[in-house]
């Protein structure tokens, strides 16, 4: 460096900072976790689970068929009748606390595996997914011996065997959302993770084994849609909890229509994120980014429809473009990556179709400037500007890093447009004026409304949808109530 | 001075959401700056430091020694950059100017009855003119926080404009003393006033009040600079001062500048650290990256 203290320096970029994978333990092949044992699938079938960033195979995963599902449900029934429903809440709580602590102890391993298997940035799995999963177990562990205080004047009773089917976008976190309240309330569980992201659920099974939880209380079976269908249709299941697409949710609701199975569904969304002209603009822009680009936009409550009041639209869009240019798209294992890999080829193709649609419709499009790795499933952060409510981009769930921007003039107009969707999962409202927050949030028909923030989750807070985004709540006391008679 | 037609109504400056700023900064602090990028960053940091002594007990001896250090930070490290400037009281400007010779290191002088600013306008102008006459390349003034908090924005604006006038060719850094302004909304407002009134740099703190510089406050000021640049095309410099003593924290500050304002701001013409103890921590890290092991603080000079 010269002594000339005024000389400007060249550009400054970050070196790769990949998280180490040395400390993780993965088996070559994973069996089904039924009745406290690792059982081979009856048909002897396995499928590959791959790293979406590198396309490398990580492990063989067992594909459960009807017979395996039957074994799992029987194990859960037996454990329910003979052990878990008779155990005191205090004892149940001890197991949950133990599982929570074991997740914390192995947090780093969980985070790395979640990122390898699912493609989400290590920053998110490390700072959000895994800590939140542990917190859900801690939170519900605390309720296990206090159920009569949670629901005063009510004789609470567990339901029985819960069949739980979870999606690929937050694999361990969704497993925690489902398992923790079910066990705290005294039910037993058969859980099926999504076929592209089975690994952390299977690692959770290892922890459950280590915790000494009685055999059959939690059974984890892997497979595709046929496995899930067999589980949903099994006659000895008392309660179904499903998180996933609206289409599958509708199929499940149809199939349970003539049964006495209880059902909660947490489905898709097309959530509105509303920026008023009196908002703190820079923080709102950050909220837009967190709302849509969190987890590559693979978030059911993603703030995928942005509404900006016309007085600040030009400013907000310019600032959003500037911020998008600084987002790092790339290796999910790199600690500096903001947007990781798209979870599967199928999903990548689906997002690409919407991109094509948006371009063909003649919308103004802007994409982040970050160079995209050549290999692997990546998608740049993308915004479509001045899109109409009648566009399919605005109406359909894209489930990727694609944002539509609409402008609005008045409060009434934006409430009407925000609610003008078959979905109703979440919404965001950005304004510096408290009274406006109360007015708007009370009129939005969505299960969650965030004010001056977005995509915030906490075990104490219920989460769930209106309309085609599903019914029933997870998290908080509401989430506990879904697992009690 | 700015064209008066461009002056906005400072009662309506943009609002800031504190929680949002804290989250944004926390995310910047997760950045992992390692290897070559760390070395490059640390060299930039050294070259952006305003090595500072602002004490009642300052003497020519103390100032001369600090000026030597400013030019020879660590002779054991090859091609070690120099600091950007030394920052002293007006009475020490001449001493510093002579000690630095033709080294290209600037002399910055605090003025306007630093640190409180509680003096009549005439005194503040004299203070500033004296510093410039003595050879100051840069003037670090304080705003009248009392007037600001009382809502007298015109007073604050006019004062900055008058001092800028008195600076002549010297570059003006305007210290907001954010620890006394308390809220981020106030920091944003004071930043706007300072930039519109003619500041070349905006600076967080005197170092005499706690809290001094924080990443949150600096983020708000950087975003104010970004907006001002978008509106007027004029680049304004930024100087966080006080409380930045570790290399890791300074690297995160620097990355924040890169992420908000871009590479154009990554030189000491546009970004400075006001610090006295930061240099040695950075030097210690630089030597570690060269030698592979940490050396004791006894190997790094304290001037």
- Cis previous bond, B115, omega within 30: yes
CA B58 to chain centroid, in Å, comes to: 20
A435 at interface of B, judged by CB pairs closer than 8 A = no
Confidence category of residue B178, pLDDT binned at 50, 70, 90: very high
Q: Do A283 and B84 touch (CB under 8 A)?
A: no
Please give the helix or strand (H or E) that residue A188 lies within, else none: strand A188-192
Q: Write out the DSSP string of A403-429.
A: EEEEEESSHHHHHHHHH-SS--SEEEE
Q: Which distant-in-sequence residues (6+ apart) come within 8 Å of A455 by Cβ?
A: A290, A291, A294, A299, A301, A302, A303
Instruction: Identify the pLDDT of residue B2.
Output: 46
Residue B50: exposure state from Cβ atoms within 10 A (0-12, 13-18, ≥19): buried
Instruction: Identify the pLDDT of residue B7.
Output: 85
Confidence category of residue B5, pLDDT binned at 50, 70, 90: low
Q: Write out the DSSP string of A112-148.
A: HHHHHHH---HHHIIIIIHHHHHHHHHHHHHHTT-HH
d(CA B18, CA A455): 17
Judging contacts by C-beta atoms under 8 Å, the chain B residues touching residue A7 are: 267
Residue of A nearest to B42 (CA): A12
Residue of A nearest to B49 (CA): A5
Confidence category of residue B94, pLDDT binned at 50, 70, 90: very high
Residue B1 has pLDDT above 50, yes or no: no
d(CA A130, CA A108): 8
d(CA A243, CA A229): 14
B268 at interface of A, judged by CB pairs closer than 8 A = yes
B17 at interface of A, judged by CB pairs closer than 8 A = yes
- Number of Cβ within 10 Å of residue B275's Cβ equals 27
Q: Which distant-in-sequence residues (6+ apart) come within 8 Å of A171 by Cβ?
A: A114, A117, A118, A193, A194, A197, A198, A199, A200, A201
Q: Do B41 and A336 touch (CB under 8 A)?
A: no
3-state helix, strand, coil in chain A (%, to 5): 40, 20, 40
A330 at interface of B, judged by CB pairs closer than 8 A = no
Phi and psi (nearest 5°) for B57?
-90, 10
User: Hey, which residues does A272 pair with through a beta bridge?
Assistant: A305, A427
Residue A119 has pLDDT above 70, yes or no: yes
Q: Do A453 and B223 touch (CB under 8 A)?
A: no
B21 at interface of A, judged by CB pairs closer than 8 A = yes
Residue A3 has pLDDT above 50, yes or no: no
From the candidates B203, B258, B281, B303, give the one annotated as an active-site residue.
B203
pLDDT digits (tens, 9 = 90+) for A244-279: 999 999 999 999 999 999 999 999 999 999 999 999
d(CA A63, CA A226): 10
Reduced to 3 states (helix: H, G, I; strand: E, B; else coil), residue A157 is: coil
d(CA A326, CA A330): 13
Q: Do B223 and A282 touch (CB under 8 A)?
A: yes
Instruction: Identify the pLDDT of residue B303.
Output: 82
Which superfamily is assigned to A29-267+468-481 in CATH?
Answer: Aldehyde Dehydrogenase; Chain A, domain 1 (3.40.605.10)
Residue of B nearest to A2 (CA): B81
B41 at interface of A, judged by CB pairs closer than 8 A = yes
Q: Do A282 and B79 touch (CB under 8 A)?
A: no
- Tell me the CATH class for A272-459: alpha beta
Which residue among B14, B263, B268 places its CB closest to the CB of A6?
B268
Mean pLDDT of A24-30: 96
d(CA A75, CA A234): 13
What is the nearest CA distance from B53 to chain A, expressed in angstroms?
20
- Number of Cβ within 10 Å of residue B147's Cβ equals 17
From the candidates A31, A266, A468, A474, give the one annotated as an active-site residue.
A266
Taking a C-beta distance cutoff of 8 angstroms, is the pair A84, A186 a contact? yes
Confidence category of residue B196, pLDDT binned at 50, 70, 90: very high
Reduced to 3 states (helix: H, G, I; strand: E, B; else coil), residue A327 is: coil
Q: Which distant-in-sequence residues (6+ apart) come within 8 Å of B61 by Cβ?
A: none
Q: Do B267 and A7 touch (CB under 8 A)?
A: yes
Instruction: Identify the pLDDT of residue A5.
Output: 42
Name the DSSP letter for residue A332: T
- Cis previous bond, B278, omega within 30: no
pLDDT digits (tens, 9 = 90+) for A469-479: 999 999 999 99
A326 at interface of B, judged by CB pairs closer than 8 A = yes
d(CA B159, CA A430): 36
Outline which parts of chain A fall under CATH 3.40.605.10: 29-267+468-481
Mean pLDDT of B250-279: 96
What is the nearest CA distance from B272 to chain A, expressed in angstroms?
12
Residue of A nearest to B33 (CA): A14
Taking a C-beta distance cutoff of 8 angstroms, is the pair A256, A232 a contact? yes
Our answer to whether residue B203 is catalytic in this structure is yes
Instruction: Identify the pLDDT of residue A7.
Output: 45
User: Hey, which residues does B241 pair with through a beta bridge?
Assistant: B274
Instruction: Identify the pLDDT of residue B152.
Output: 97
Q: Which of A178, A169, A191 lies closest to A245 in space, CA to CA? A: A169
Name the DSSP letter for residue A297: G
The pLDDT > 70 percentage for chain A reads 98
Our answer to whether residue A56 is catalytic in this structure is no
Please report the sign of the dihedral spanned by the C-alpha atoms of residue A205, residue A207, residue A209, residue A214: negative
A434 at interface of B, judged by CB pairs closer than 8 A = no
Which residue among B17, B38, B83 places its CB closest to the CB of A452?
B17
Torsional class of B151: left (φ above 0), alpha (ψ -120 to 50), beta (otherwise): left
Residue of B nearest to A277 (CA): B14
pLDDT digits (tens, 9 = 90+) for B152-171: 999 999 999 999 999 999 99
C-alpha distances in Å from residue A68, one per residue of A71, A206, A231? 5, 19, 10
Reduced to 3 states (helix: H, G, I; strand: E, B; else coil), residue A266 is: strand
Please give the helix or strand (H or E) that residue A364 lies within, else none: strand A364-367
**What does the buried/exposed string (b/e) look like for A145-183 if buried means 16 or more CB atoms within 10 Å of the residue's CB?**
bebeebeeeeebebbbbbbbbbbbbbbbbbbbbbbbbbb
For chain B, domains (ranges, CATH) are 4-287 (3.20.20.70)
Mutate which of B16, B18, B20, B216 to disrupt the A interface (most A C-beta within 10 Å)? Answer: B20
Instruction: Identify the pLDDT of residue A1.
Output: 37
Torsional class of A455: left (φ above 0), alpha (ψ -120 to 50), beta (otherwise): left
In terms of residues, how long is chain A?
485
Q: Do A8 and B264 touch (CB under 8 A)?
A: yes
**What does the buried/exposed string (b/e) look like for B70-85 if buried means 16 or more CB atoms within 10 Å of the residue's CB?**
bbebbeeeeebbbbbb
Instruction: Identify the pLDDT of residue B276.
Output: 85
Mean pLDDT of B186-206: 98
SS (H, E, C) chain B: CCCHHHCCCHHHCCCCCHHHHHHHHHHHCCCCCCHHHHHHHHHHHHHCEEEECCCCCCCHHHHHHHHHHHHCCCCCCCCCCCCCEEEECHHHHHHHHHHHCCCCCEEEEECCCCCCCCCCHHHHHHHHHHHHHCCCCEEEEECCHHHHHCCCHHHHHHHHHHHHHHHCCCEEEEECCHHHHCCHHHHHHHHHHHHHHCCCEEECCCCCCCCCCCHHHHHHHHHHHHHHHHHHCCCCEEECECCCCCHHHHHHHHHHHHHHCCHHHCCCCCECEEECCHHHHHHHHHHHHHHCCCCCHHHCCCC
C-alpha distances in Å from residue A233, one per residue of A84, A113, A188, B117? 23, 31, 17, 78
Judging contacts by C-beta atoms under 8 Å, the chain B residues touching residue A127 are: 30
Reduced to 3 states (helix: H, G, I; strand: E, B; else coil), residue A60 is: strand
pLDDT digits (tens, 9 = 90+) for A339-395: 999 999 999 999 999 999 999 999 999 999 999 998 899 999 999 999 999 999 999
pLDDT digits (tens, 9 = 90+) for A276-322: 999 999 999 999 999 999 999 999 999 999 999 999 999 999 999 99
Q: Which of A287, A341, A269, A328 lies closest to A125 in space, CA to CA? A: A341
Judging contacts by C-beta atoms under 8 Å, the chain A residues touching residue B36 are: 15
Tokens linked to A217 = 């209380």
Instruction: Identify the pLDDT of residue A10.
Output: 65
Our answer to whether residue A301 is catalytic in this structure is no
Which residue among B24, B32, B104 places its CB closest to the CB of A336?
B32
Strands laid side by side in the A57-62 sheet: A29-30, A57-62, A46-50
Reduced to 3 states (helix: H, G, I; strand: E, B; else coil), residue A339 is: strand
Outline which parts of chain A fall under CATH 3.40.309.10: 272-459
Mutate which of B15, B51, B192 to disrupt the A interface (most A C-beta within 10 Å)? Answer: B15
Strands laid side by side in the A161-165 sheet: A37-39, A32-34, A218-220, A188-192, A161-165, A239-243, A262-266, A470-471
- Nearest 5°: CA angle at A452, between A450 and A454? 50
- Nearest 5°: CA angle at A443, between A244 and A307? 70
Instruction: Identify the pLDDT of residue B272.
Output: 98
B223 at interface of A, judged by CB pairs closer than 8 A = yes
Judging contacts by C-beta atoms under 8 Å, the chain A residues touching residue B255 are: 14
Which residue among A11, A15, A287 places its CB closest to the CB of B35?
A15
């Amino acid at each position: 460096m010269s002594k000339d203290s005024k000389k400007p320096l060249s550009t400054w970029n970050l070196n790769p900072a990949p998280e180490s994978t040395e400390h993780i333990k993965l088996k070559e092949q994973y069996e089904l976790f039924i009745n406290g044992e690792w059982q081979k699938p009856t048909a002897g079938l396995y499928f590959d689970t791959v790293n979406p960033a590198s396309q490398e195979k990580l492990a063989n995963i067992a594909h459960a068929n009807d017979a395996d599902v039957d074994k799992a449900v029987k194990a859960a029934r037996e454990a329910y009748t003979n052990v878990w429903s008779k155990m005191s809440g205090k004892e149940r709580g001890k197991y949950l606390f133990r599982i929570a602590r074991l997740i914390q102890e192995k947090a780093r391993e969980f985070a790395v595996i979640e990122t390898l298997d699912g493609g989400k940035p290590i920053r998110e799995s490390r700072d959000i997914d895994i800590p939140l999963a542990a917190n859900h177990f801690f939170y519900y562990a605390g309720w296990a011996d206090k159920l009569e205080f949670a629901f005063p004047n009510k004789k609470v009773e567990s339901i029985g065997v819960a069949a739980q089917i979870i999606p690929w976008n937050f694999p361990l976190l969704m497993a925690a959302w489902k398992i923790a309240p079910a066990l705290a309330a005294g039910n037993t569980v058969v859980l099926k993770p999504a076929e592209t992201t089975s690994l952390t659920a299977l690692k959770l099974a290892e922890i459950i084994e280590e915790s000494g939880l009685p055999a059959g209380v939690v059974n984890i079976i892997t497979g595709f849609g046929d496995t899930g269908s067999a589980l949903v249709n099994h006659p000895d299941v008392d309660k179904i909890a499903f998180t996933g697409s609206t289409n599958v949710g509708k199929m499940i609701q149809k199939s349970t229509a003539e049964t006495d199975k209880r059902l909660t569904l947490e489905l898709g969304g097309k959530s509105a994120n509303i920026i008023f002209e009196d908002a703190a603009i820079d923080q709102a822009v950050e909220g837009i980014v967190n709302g849509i680009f969190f987890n590559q936009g693979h978030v059911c409550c993603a703030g995928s429809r942005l509404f900006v009041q016309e007085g600040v639209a030009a400013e907000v869009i310019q600032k959003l473009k500037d911020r998008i240019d600084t987002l790092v798209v790339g290796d999910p294992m790199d600690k500096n990556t903001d947007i990781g890999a798209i979870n599967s080829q199928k999903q990548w193709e689906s997002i690409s179709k919407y991109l094509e649609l948006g371009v063909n419709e003649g919308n103004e499009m802007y994409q982040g400037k970050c160079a995209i790795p050549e290999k692997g499933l990546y998608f740049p952060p993308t915004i479509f500007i001045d899109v109409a409510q009648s566009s399919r981009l605005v109406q359909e769930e894209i489930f990727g890093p694609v944002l539509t921007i609409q402008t609005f003039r008045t409060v009434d107009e934006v409430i009407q447009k925000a609610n003008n969707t078959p979905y109703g999962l979440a919404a965001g409202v950005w304004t510096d004026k408290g009274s406006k927050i109360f007015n708007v949030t009370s009129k939005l028909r969505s299960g969650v409304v965030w004010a001056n923030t977005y995509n915030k989750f906490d075990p104490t807070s219920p989460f769930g949808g209106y309309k085609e985004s599903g019914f029933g709540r997870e998290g908080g006391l509401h989430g506990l109530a879904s697992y009690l008679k | 001075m700015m064209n008066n037609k461009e002056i906005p109504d400072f009662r309506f400056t943009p609002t800031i959401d504190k929680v949002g700023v804290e989250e944004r900064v926390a995310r910047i602090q997760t950045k992992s700056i390692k290897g070559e990028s760390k070395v490059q960053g640390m060299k930039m940091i050294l070259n952006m430091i305003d090595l500072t002594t602002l004490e009642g007990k300052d003497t020519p001896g103390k100032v001369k020694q600090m000026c030597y250090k400013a030019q020879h930070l660590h002779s054991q490290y090859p091609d070690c950059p120099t600091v950007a400037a030394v920052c002293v009281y007006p009475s020490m400007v001449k001493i510093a100017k002579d000690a630095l010779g033709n080294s290209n290191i600037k002399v910055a002088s605090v003025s306007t009855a630093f640190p409180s600013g509680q003096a009549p306008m005439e005194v503040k102008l004299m203070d500033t003119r004296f510093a410039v006459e003595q050879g100051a390349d840069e003037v670090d003034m304080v705003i009248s926080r009392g007037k600001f908090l009382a809502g007298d924005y015109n007073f604050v604006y006019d004062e900055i404009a008058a001092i800028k006038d008195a600076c002549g060719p010297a570059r003006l850094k305007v210290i907001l003393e954010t620890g006394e302004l308390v809220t981020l909304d106030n920091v944003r407002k004071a930043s706007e006033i300072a930039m519109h009134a003619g500041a070349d740099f905006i600076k967080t703190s005197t170092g005499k009040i706690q809290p001094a510089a924080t990443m949150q406050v600096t983020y708000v000021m950087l975003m104010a600079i970004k907006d001002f640049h978008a509106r007027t095309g004029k680049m304004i410099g930024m100087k966080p001062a006080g409380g930045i003593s570790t290399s890791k924290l300074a690297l995160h500050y620097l990355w924040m500048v890169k992420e908000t304002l871009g590479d154009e701001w990554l030189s000491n013409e546009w970004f400075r650290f006001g610090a006295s103890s930061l240099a040695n921590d950075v030097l210690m890290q630089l030597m570690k990256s060269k030698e592979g092991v940490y050396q004791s603080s006894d190997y790094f000079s304290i001037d």
